[in-house]
A and B are shown apart, each in its own frame.
Chain A
Amino acid sequence: MESIASKLIATYLNRGVLLVSCSIMIGCATSEPLYYWGNYEELIYQMYIEPGAADSATQVAKLKEDINKASTAGKPVPPGLHAHLGYMYFLQSDTHAAVLEFEMEKKLFPESAKFVDGLMGRLKK
């Protein structure tokens, strides 16, 4: 019995090694994504196509989770994510948090400066 069990374990281990080597080979064929994508695009889909599935509170929670996961994975979040999160905070009337996110978008992607400054100008009115 013991030998059968150990044979089984050995087979699974071999398969594990095989899977790992396969994924390494696949990893070499395509390059790594630049960003950690998480839920960002799925939330955009839901907010337009499945009304009610992604209210601002849900989006804030999921995007904050994505930001944490991205930092654990050592990857940047995609362009637009912090501005999108800022907009969700604005919808919840949390102007302070909104401004922090807009500032972060600008810091990570200077291309967003003009748009984000315009948005913040409106918040302060």
Chain B
Amino acid sequence: MKPVNRNFKLLLPLLLVFTTGCVTTPPFDYSSFRNHRPRSILVLPPLNQTTDVNAPYTYLSTITRPLAECGYYVFPVAVVDAYMKENGLPSPEEMHGVALDKIRNIIGADAILYVTIEEWGQKYIVVQSITTIKAIARLIDTASGEVIWQGTQAVSQGSGGGADPIAMLITAAVTQIINTMVDYTHDLSRVANHTMVYDASQGFLAGPYLPPQENDHCRQN
């Protein structure tokens, strides 16, 4: 029995290496994106699966810049929202239910970005507080109905830390006081959207207003 046991122990690190090796994500398939190449993107107010009522519109207020700087025409998010509300679509759920051809005919968008917010805000883990945003986004071509891009963005910003437990407690307490005054999610939402669009291997391809880029992706700025 003993030799078998020893062999197994030797194998264990190797097994770990193999399992972590499997986790790496496959290269992103851009074929559909390349086939459709939208000029204009309509971002609808996101669906909200969290309890924070401010999440959808905070998100919406930070999505125009990265997409426009990536070269796309981005429809004015607040004007579109008001227009839809005036036309009997009071909530994001109802807006997300509008048929693609109807949006194409009335607004003229080449593609629509549908976003669902899954996590938003602070969690307290022992003495640290962590602000997290997690959103799933799909870019759909309005002519073909094809999903031309999709991704999940999860970003966190921790506070506290350090090896000294008393220092950690103080930091956590101070951060909690600051957090009641500052809306961290607003900044974090900006980071999440920037990362989503500009990610070097999974991000968006450059739109028509951006000068040609070496690798077809948006440049960093």
Contacts and interface: CB of A to CB of B under 8 A. Distances in A.
A31 interface: yes
A45 B58 contact: yes
Given A33-B69, A33-B221, A112-B73, A78 B58 contact: no
10 contacts: A40-B64, A41-B62, A44-B60, A44-B61, A49-B54, A78-B65, A80-B77, A81-B76, A86-B79, A111-B73
B186 A80 contact: no
Interface string B128-143: 0000000000000000
Contacts of B194: none
Interface in B36-70: 39-40, 54, 57-58, 60-62, 64-65, 68-69
B28 interface: no
Contacts of B64: 40-41, 44, 78-80
Contacts of A119: 79, 83
Interface string A68-99: 00000000001111011011000000000000
B69 A84 contact: no
* Interface size, B (range): 35 or more
Interface centre among B68, B76, B186, B221 (most CB of A within 10 A): B76
B61 A48 contact: yes
Interface in B180-221: 183, 186, 209-210, 219-221
Given A37-B65, A84-B78, A118-B106, A31 B73 contact: no
A40 B57 CA distance: 14
B82 interface: yes
A25 interface: no
Nearest to B108: A114
Contacts of A34: 68-69, 71, 209-210
B77 A31 contact: no
A3 to B, nearest CB: 45
B106 A115 contact: yes
B76 A80 contact: yes
B65 to A, nearest CB: 6
Contacts of A42: 61
A113 interface: yes
A101 to B, nearest CB: 11
A118 B76 CA distance: 14
A119 B65 CA distance: 23
A100 B71 CA distance: 25
Nearest to A34: B69
A31 B220 contact: yes
A6 interface: no
